[in-house]
Structure 1
């Protein structure tokens, strides 16, 4: 029997006190469970793209590709049970405990799942209160910024038959609980004017294409098409393109195109759908004027799955024509540089990119495996090589499995492989700049990032990284400008962008209230990241709030007592030694240990 190892979001649910309920009236409880499954549970799982792996008597084991989907499903089920239990005496209520974990599982040939990922989810379910949902830290990290109900941090918890303690978060669900959409764009910037439409060039957002196929496994296919179109559009010099992490925030939400355009502050929206069956695919795309909802251009493409790369190219070119954006021959050639013609390699790349977005240890390592598999299929796949290099850079800075020099050497090997493919791809400059940053070669890093921006002017990752490097190089105003633009392109921004913007404001002594708000927001979103607390302490101390800086470090010492000055000396890449010493002295004064 064949088996496959993968990362998955696992949900385990069980009925509270099933034996007691069955002992009172087994026929009635079984009939109610069958009704709940057909009317509530199974349809909710299907809506949120879940796969019922197996039922275990009164329990269920369900697999999801996304933790967000798993939590949405769990909350909807628990809310539904609150409604159905209203007015019933306690002894007749059916209540569920639910545990959710993101981790490594083994899928057997018959579709069953085994491994630590399943075991941890089952143990989390066992400690959940009736009507509640328990999340592991790995799962909570995926949804912490999108919960519309409080999460209780239960701390490091020793689960039965699990070797190491796991930090657990509990959600007590009520009828109004839900996973909320990302924070509105208005709350992400210093003032409303920063979000006003860009007047000197067309602005566009690409919504996630709908998967119209019955096979939920093809969800990645629709997402991948969307992401590739966004990447290609971001390389067009005279086009303002909203980042994919912001447009994907609307996935699965019943939001009109006009409303999405208003919230994202763009003039045009692209929406579409994908239907695949056997070896055939149909893609539809519509370009819509945001304010009026008027269709400016629409097209349908039918062909073989292998034609999908041509379809992506056609859609991008047609958008440029419709928006009257003129492209040179060189600019046209660059739109699809770094791509592959292998569907299997592309599928690995798309899945890996989703893991890389989270930028934590588990996900970075999972992404690396997928990029390596993609490159094994297509050794000249520039896009996969670039992101593989980023995983090595991330390891070099934060030390995951190998020493920094080894990881950095691997990243440099990837740079050389990319250079051998040609030097027109923005990812080459992007990765060179990252490596130079770790090498404390700040001027080189800034130059490389700027060259990457010239090739991909709407790339929020590159903009954000340019801003970060500038701040550490003592060019805080330039860094603030780049980060502000990155957050304008991505209203539902990546967490480390406001982190660095807060630090930039602190270095120049400007926008005190906004700097502190951004630093505090980061800590709320990532309460397990020790650097969030040191950043908050630096920002507070630079603005003269020493007691509040000490409070941030006190929280850090409770949460991560082993973290100290040594970690900052290893990871923080300040160009000027005096800047690093100023930071360390401020943190020592706030109580940070060596």
Structure 2
């Protein structure tokens, strides 16, 4: 079979358009496809092989002509969108491939066509992406502006595909995402607590609710209704369903209190509106002084248990329902929680949930950023069959995230993580971490990951400084084991082995599967002369990572070229790990 130039045209977020303006969308799409046919007649080139409700497949005799027509279609599409209600524009993206195809009476077939149809998802609105075979037939600067995106992995395609981006006149046009960023976190309403005893006014209940709202609002996993909105409902006999409807809340936190001498007794409960049922409740006691102290353990502990109760419920939902029946934020919360458990089964399920969310939220940065972290952790845990492929997939995910939102602090931080741990370019990583912190100085993940970068270079003081800043910003993070593990590494790099052991043990109490924690703990114990205990930790490490050798650790460790890394490798050998 001879090669054919194939141009795949796809409507961006066609499902959302049909849902919002079905009749208008169909009419405008039919007009646009008719205009495409007229354009082929004008240019006297090309042929429409197939039309569908949200796409067209063209055949051309040369790549430059395909690009010429593709750019013209994008220009006409942009013109047709002028004056249209924002959010209802028909935006197009395209993929270009040179490959043999089989044209049957009922359809078109071919591996190259499958590649093009997968590859089109890498294009943004108003963009064309092309394979290397198509790119070779273009003259950059003459036929088009070309940008190399590198090797990209496509779903159900075994080998990476070298992809190039060809920006058209409509490139860079922003469209409303199918899913808003707010949809990725549930909304919590904290209702002022009611005093039970006669004479107990509303003030204490409001003060406590305000402290909870302030502290819970710092979590990236939750959105919290403002105090003014919840206080407006004080004293009204409203049920959970009514409160949820009025405040657009997914969860309602409420309760009662009484004061006995100088002690507060608080009964608190969490309810969800779908069944109007309470799924978690707890009684907590503390001195009045501690309750009124914003930095007290009473408030911090309550914030911690409430956050974990919500995460726990979302996990139960994710396990008991099919993915198609899960809300967007359930997929997000469950995926991140399962990823950080670091058991192979939960870890695999985490990826499935993230990919399901990404299919819904193609223009959201956060799910892509977490998918990148998933691939990094897979390599770190020693679970990857192909670390190079996982590295490329991680880099691909952060690239997509930052194209969608260049100022997404989470994506910037995790891209720094990619460049530290997989690409091993500390200069690029440091720039990314600095950018993430500039965008959001309270991004604790950026601080702890920058600390990790300093560890690999043996910069102990800087590592400890950044780790301490991270812990101060997120003292009750749901994934505290990760912060403790990287803090252990920071103290190790600063030769504070007792502190390294303290943080490593704290991390292990929360998660015994993190291989990096086990390595730091074993080597720190060895440095302090606790050989027997170091040996026991090394045995546990062998259970979690049975294929660990000094050679493969050096191969994947970013510290391998630094004295700290070479010394660490010698310690692994002392612990009995084989060279290869």
What TM-score comes out, normalization by structure 1 length? 0.42
Over alpha carbons, which structure has the higher Rg?
2
What TM-score comes out, normalization by structure 2 length? 0.43
Identify the structure with bigger relative contact order (alpha carbons < 8 Å, sequence gap 6+): 1
